[in-house]
Amino acid sequence: MYAGGGALVAALIAAAIVGIVVARGGGGATNKTAKTNYNALPGIRKTKAPWPPEYRYLADRLPPLDLTTLPGHNGLVLHFHVHIDIFVNGKKVKIPALVGINVGAGWLTELHTHDARGVIHVEAQKARDFTVGQFFSEWAVYLDSHSIGGYSGMRWYLDGKLQTGNPQTLIFKPHQEIAFVVGKPPAKIPSSYAFRAGE
């Protein structure tokens, strides 16, 4: 009887541990489910490239995206970079400079670009997760599991490996190489990016 009771207790403890790991996303999950339908936010464009920064509705998008403005680069506890490539029929589509930066108002957000290399700056005054979906919605470009902007049939890659599911939920990690491909792929899907010193 005691052996049977001990086995039952052990099984309950094991089930509880499995439940905690699953609830926490598997212990090392790189995805985060959004509370907001990013594609329903004001200004999101389901059009073909190019996609310049969209400022008209940016301030309206920031609260539901859980993004805040920073007066500069002071007091950062989180600061790293990722790289995004977009290819349409083998040709590279540029991610523009100044996504998430309002030069006139003198602020930037936690996710932004300084130039058109495709380097996304992730900078925050507290440690937390940021996702691909937050960046694309800040940029006001439609994104789901098979579409980007006005293009359908999109495939996406992380560090050169084909992915499934919705890229919006991918959590940014330092030095990721994320590639979105529509139509004819480039000669080689990038698996890494040569970041500048200090990036």
Q: What is the DSSP letter of 151?
A: E
Please check whether residue 63 lies inside any domain of the structure: yes
Three-class SS state of 2: helix
Q: Are 23 and 42 part of one and the same domain?
A: no
Looking at the structure, tell me whether residues 65 and 18 fall in a common domain: no
On whether residue 191 sits in a domain, the answer given is: no
The residue among 88 and 14 whose pLDDT is bigger is: 88
**3-state class (DSSP) for residue 5:** helix
72 and 166 belong to one structural domain: yes
Establish if 140 belongs to a structural domain. yes
Shortest CA distance to 60 belongs to which of 40, 80, 88?
40
The number of domains in the chain is: 2
pLDDT tens across 128-171, in order? 999 999 999 999 999 999 999 999 999 999 999 999 999 999 99
What is the spatial distance between Cα 43 and Cα 46, in angstroms, rounded to a whole number?
Answer: 10
The overall average pLDDT reported for the chain is 86
Do 121 and 88 lie in a common domain? Answer: yes
Tell whether 13 and 76 lie within a shared domain.
no
> For 198, left (φ over 0), alpha (ψ -120 to 50), or beta?
left
2 plus 63 within the same structural domain: no
Percent of the chain beyond pLDDT 90?
76
Does residue 193 sit within a domain?
A: no
Task: Specify if 94 maps to a domain.
Answer: yes
Judgement on whether residues 12 and 83 belong to the same structural domain of the protein: no
Residue 192 lies in a domain: no
CA distance 104 to 108: 10
Give pLDDT, residue 75: 83
Q: What is the pLDDT of residue 122?
A: 97
Query: Do 3 and 98 fall into the same domain?
Result: no
pLDDT for 15 beyond 50: no
Pairing of strands 111-112, 107-109: unpaired
**Residues 36, 97 share a domain:** yes
What is the DSSP annotation of 54-85? --TTHHHHHHHHT--EESSSTT-SEEEEEEEE
User: CB neighbours (10 Å) of residue 12?
Assistant: 10
11 shares a domain with 105: no
pLDDT at 188: 97
Closest CA to 129 of 81, 174, 172: 172
Q: Looking at the structure, do residues 94 and 12 belong to the same domain, yes or no?
A: no
* CB neighbourhood size of 177 (10 A): 20
Inside any domain, residue 133 = yes
Report yes or no: 113 and 95 within 8 Å, Cβ to Cβ.
yes
Query: Are 73 and 20 in a shared domain?
Result: no
Look up the domain containing 2 and give its range: 1-29
Backbone angles phi, psi at 59, to 5 degrees: -60, -30
Count other Cβ atoms within 10 Å, centred on residue 116: 12
Q: Are 114 and 97 in contact (CB under 8 A)?
A: yes
Radius of gyration from C-alpha coordinates of the chain: 20
Is 21 inside any structural domain?
A: yes
